[in-house]
Structure formats: C-alpha cells, structure tokens
Amino acid sequence: MSVESLKRVISKKLIFDVPSLYFLLNTACRMEFGKDFLDTLFSSPQSIYSILKRLYGDTAAKLLFRTYILEPAIQELNEAEREKIIYLLNQGMYLEAFEVLTGLLEREGCGGR
C-alpha cells in the first residue's frame, strides 16, 4: 500500500460518512498549517488529533481518530500488520498506531502490498 492509496482510503471514508468533518479538518489544517488535512495527517498526526480534541473533547477525538483514520487504513494491511496496530488501538495508543502504520509504508518504500 502506498501513502497515496492510504490517503484515498481515509478521505473516501470521511467524505462518505461525515463530509462535514472532512471539510472542517481541511479548513482547520489550511488555516493553521497551510496544507490540507491529508498532508497534515501524514506529516503531523498529533496536529490532527489536537484539532479533534480541541473541537470535540478527548473521548470523541479518540473515537473519531480511530474510526475515520485508523480503522479504514488497517483494513488494507495483512493480518500480522493489522494485529500489531489493533493491539495499540486496544491500549488507547492511537498516535503510536498511526506511526506504526506510516512506518510500514516507509518500509515498503511506498510500494503496494
């Protein structure tokens, strides 16, 4: 899986399920960081989490990050990779799970699976 394919998976999930959240995140990222939501997500996932937390509170931010960013992405992984990330998710370590996910992409050299 490449970074671009992962971006498509995440944006498709958000646009289909909660287009207003996608628009809100895009707008907030452009205003605060000068780049769109997906570029900000891959360069600074903690910034996305901070925006969600500021807007919705900690519990909702965790749920949104997990549901609309991490879960769609892990569906694209093989079973061993998925298990590692699911373990982190179950521990409430969402940013760490995203770092593992992006690390897998870097290890693959942005190639397909």
CATH of the domain at 49: 1.10.1200
73 domain-assigned: yes
112 domain-assigned: no
pLDDT in tens, 43-99: 999 999 999 999 999 999 999 999 999 988 888 788 888 898 989 988 989 889 988
Residue 34 has pLDDT above 90, yes or no: yes
* pLDDT, position 112: 41
113 domain-assigned: no
Gap between the Cα atoms of 12 and 1, Å rounded: 16
Single pTM value for the model: 0.82
Structurally, how many domains does the chain consist of?
1
| Crossing angle between the packed helical segments 3-17 and 19-33, to the nearest 10 degrees | 120
Cβ atoms 32, 103 nearer than 8 A? no
Residue range of the domain that includes 29: 3-107
User: Side chain identity at 107, as an amino acid letter?
Assistant: R
